[in-house]
Structure 1
């Protein structure tokens, strides 16, 4: 029972932190404000999260779970590989809109470089694995030409990630891209998806 209570309290803290981060930004939120929101002492808050960076990492893990659950649902329920690939871009767009004030990149940059690299690599690997399943579905259904789905997924995901850096080149901004810049990236990613889909479809 004690374990359940600890888990419930931890989840309560994460929900309060996520609510504040998405509304006001992580940088402008204090541990005191989160403690006040859930009516607990600051000491209790630090029992679960010894510092703000620890809380940031836990929040990142929580929103990452939301993101990948969305992609997993798209994979499980896909009627076609083409539709799933298009939906993947929409999932990314909806995710960014929902959590744009969370300052995801700023939170990531607060961690040790090795930890940041590991987190980014884990995200890329998970995305690639889910995209590979979309390609496999397309091949099995005769929608796509024969190919190595894993290699194709790696190339596709690398291209999607690369567009972020390509689109922002020359656009003046500090740190995290703005919602408008993200919308531009998403638009380019949708164009890329259509090129890939047309290139893979059986004639």
Structure 2
């Protein structure tokens, strides 16, 4: 067995420098613990730096996730990261309508749905007899002749899509037949609105 008492200690740190390095490491570790780990993991932020750096949000997310039932957390995967969630909820009942209008040559007509801000619907319309020009737009209640146009088209035989009302009012379509024969427009809507109005 080698006797280490007679080994050359040249180049090795002294006991004093080892204690000093250990102390510095402990101070740095304590600073990291107080300023980052505690705010991020547990929401404890005695210095206020965690909130400034946005770390306390992490502890809130962890708390919200742990509050979810285990089955819900496991089955929903990354959907928990969505702040509003994937489901849009409403107390209103679902409406579904099929509306038919006939436009003579050079005639136009509006069909609108009364909707509250945030209400949603899906729609599909097709024509029989020829294409039409259209303007999908909305009008606020009691706002005179002002309107907001969402989608315009020329010589179109059909259109489909989904719509979310940006404000309370009436929202829908103005169709115009620029042809020489009558055109029938069949509109199918389904969603959350109060009624369908022909103008």
Does the alignment reach a TM-score above 0.5? no
TM-score range, shorter chain: under 0.3
Between structures 1 and 2, the one with greater helix share = 1
How high is the TM-score relative to the length of structure 2?
A: 0.27
How high is the TM-score relative to the length of structure 1?
A: 0.26
Structure with bigger RCO (C-alpha 8 Å, 6+ apart): 2
Between structures 1 and 2, the one with greater strand share = 2
